[in-house]
Structure 1
Amino acid sequence: MIEVLSITFPLFAAIALGYGSVAFGLFSSDDMKVLGRYVLNIALPPLLFNAVAGRDLGEVLHPGYLLVYLSAGVATMLIGYVAVTLSGTGPARRAVAVMGMVVPNSAFVGYPALLLTLPDIAGQVLVLNFLVENVILIPLGLILLDLSRPRPGRTITGVLGGIAKDFFSRPFVIGLMLGLVVSVTGLPYPEPVERFLSLLAGSAGALALVVIGGTLYGLPMRGDRALAGGIAAGKLMLHPLMAAVAVAIYSVAGVVVLPDEFRQAAILSAAIPMFSIYIILAQPYGHDGIASIALLTAVISSFVTLSLVLWLL
């Protein structure tokens, strides 16, 4: 248990530091937004670039891991969708709930957790998680959200086009794509450039956790608490359970037998609380209160659930 706490304590101490820094006026909520943009737009792109550029493409794109992680996400979405539908929840809240159950905060919490537990593959796993989440899981959630609000003249093609345009304009996606180009072509880049990118990438981990804590301060706490609790439970328990089930089924069937470190990475990644822009995505539909309660509940509860997952692994 001491080994587990040596991993979880630094993570949640940094989150608590961020929360306290805003609560006691050292930083404002607006400051946290700026720091969050720094992590996403400045630190994360070189991190993803380095994770891909220095490796052979076949080594980076681990098909077995992608299959397991994607299967866990889709299974969680389906089970969550059915469960929330049977409870009589409306389409917008249903979409908000499903998205909250299935998309972890891989950049701000998942990557620091991987750095502490599986440092040798942390960057590679972040790339793989980002591919599944940003290419498939998040777009599926956005489609559900968009379809929950009928609009004349709207088409699935138009919705997908808007999602694709937004995706390819993100700095971290550009960094990832440039890394893939370097990996495929074998283009060399000077050591000073490599060190500069590594310097920026190294600033992501701790700052991301502080930003998460600061973001939690002052969140709106009005909404369906029962649904929010269900969303948090789905994210922290159902999603990692589905990852473990996917690992077991594919292994028994002989389809995919993941190395231990990638098996642990898949389950650990699924056990991370939901991504922070979840609240922003829910806001236009009037459910930012539910999203805020779910996020706060998940982050606080994950100290226990994440410790349990690490202990079981």
Structure 2
Amino acid sequence: MADITALLLPFFGLILIGYVAARVTRQPAEALGWMNTFIIYAALPALFFKLVSRTPIEDLARIDFIAADIAATYAIFILLFLIARFLRRASVADSTIQAFGGSYGNIGYMGPGLALLAFGDAAAVPVALIVCLENATHFIVAPAMMAVAGGDKRPPLQLAGEVLRKVALHPFIISTGLGFLVAASGLAVPTAAQRLVDYLAQAAAPCALFAMGVTLALRPLKRVPVEIGYLSAAKLIIHPVAVYVVLSLAGDFDPVWVYSAVLLAALPTATNVFVISQQYGVWQERASATVLITTALSVLTLPVLLYLITAGLLPPDLFP
């Protein structure tokens, strides 16, 4: 347990430092803009390119792995959507945000740093595949559901074109695609360019976690949503269990791949869920509260998961 504490303390410590810094300095939310730009357009894309470009191409073609992961994630999404829509009598738009609150983890900011610290470089490929392809799926599903809800009045073809453009031009997708090309071609990246990529990649996790802490501080908890109980359980417990079971059923995967996927599924609600809610003007305060509360609760749940993995209590395949 001491090893797990040593692993998670600096990780959550960076979030805490960002939180405290924001509360003490009281900078406006706009002050975070350039850091977020650096993270999304430079640091994290460099990390994904670095991870993917140095991986054998056969390891990058595991469609069965990513399909199983996304299937498990969207099983949780559909379950939560149905609960919100038919049991809670929420609107389609509200139900969509609630479903994302319990199934869309903070895989971009928290995932790469934590998985690589926990499992080493062997976690690089599954993390890159999950972050890029799961995010791409979310980028498609969110506007599609909002269009169904009537929150997006654009013509269907214009909406579809805009969604495809955003997915294709997203920095995570572009950097991962370039990494695929380099891995497949066997081309050597020039030393100077590789050093630049390395410098940027090293900054990804610290900057992302610090920015996450600042973001949490700038969105104080105003109300605790009634739904937070089952949304937190879904995000922090049921989602990783679902990923674990589906991957065990889907095939024989490397243990590090399975553990990386389960760890990413166990992460708290992504800040992007609040961004989506703000974009469409639905469930905003409660989405912010969901991000904050699940992040706080993950301080308790993540050590338990890592202990189960490192102690050998969680076999890599539930159905060997």
Are the structure 2 counterparts of residues 41 and 96 from structure 1 closer, same or farther at C-alpha, using a change threshold of 3 Å? same
Structure 1, unaligned stretches of length 5 or more? 251-255
Cα deviation, 1:1-57, whole Å, max 9, x if unaligned, reads: 222212222211111010001111075533333212211111112211111222232
Which residue of the other structure, out of 273, 278, 299, is the alignment partner of 2:273?
Answer: 278
Alignment of 1:288-303 (within 5 A): 288-303=284-299
Choose 263-272 or 32-41, whichever is displaced more. Answer: 32-41
Are the structure 2 counterparts of residues 152 and 106 from structure 1 closer, same or farther at C-alpha, using a change threshold of 3 Å? closer
Q: Contact 2:80/2:99 (CA < 8 Å) preserved in 1? A: yes
Distance 1:151 1:115 in 2: 38
Choose 50-59 or 144-153, whichever is displaced more. Answer: 144-153
> Which amino acid is the alignment partner of residue 274 of structure 2?
I
1:129 maps to 2:100: no
Percent identical = 22
1:234 maps to 2:230: no
Which secondary structure does the structure 2 equivalent of 1:107 belong to?
Answer: coil
Alignment of 1:94-113 (within 5 A): 94-113=95-114
Which residue of the other structure, out of 308, 311, 315, is the alignment partner of 1:312?
Answer: 308
Distance 1:150 1:290 in 2: 18
Cα deviation, 1:206-237, whole Å, max 9, x if unaligned, reads: 11111100100131544561124433332112
Number of matched residues? Answer: 307
Which secondary structure does the structure 1 equivalent of 2:155 belong to?
Answer: coil
Q: Contact 2:221/2:288 (CA < 8 Å) preserved in 1? A: yes
TM-score by length of 1: 0.91
C-alpha RMSD over aligned residues: 2.0
Structure 2 partner of 1:267: 262
> Which amino acid is the alignment partner of residue 180 of structure 1?
F
Are the structure 2 counterparts of residues 26 and 151 from structure 1 closer, same or farther at C-alpha, using a change threshold of 3 Å? closer
Cα deviation, 1:127-166, whole Å, max 9, x if unaligned, reads: 21123312323422332123212666732x4433221111
Q: Contact 1:107/1:126 (CA < 8 Å) preserved in 2? A: no
Choose 50-59 or 112-121, whichever is displaced more. Answer: 50-59
Cα deviation, 1:86-143, whole Å, max 9, x if unaligned, reads: 2222211101011122221112111111121012133322321123312323422332
Which secondary structure does the structure 2 equivalent of 1:182 belong to?
Answer: helix
Structure 2, unaligned stretches of length 5 or more? 310-320
> Which amino acid is the alignment partner of residue 248 of structure 1?
S
Q: Contact 1:96/1:145 (CA < 8 Å) preserved in 2? A: no
Structure 1 partner of 2:314: none
Alignment of 1:55-66 (within 5 A): 55-66=55-66
Cα deviation, 1:240-295, whole Å, max 9, x if unaligned, reads: 11112213333xxxxx0122111111110100112212212101223210110000
Q: Contact 1:47/1:123 (CA < 8 Å) preserved in 2? A: no
Q: Contact 2:221/2:292 (CA < 8 Å) preserved in 1? A: no
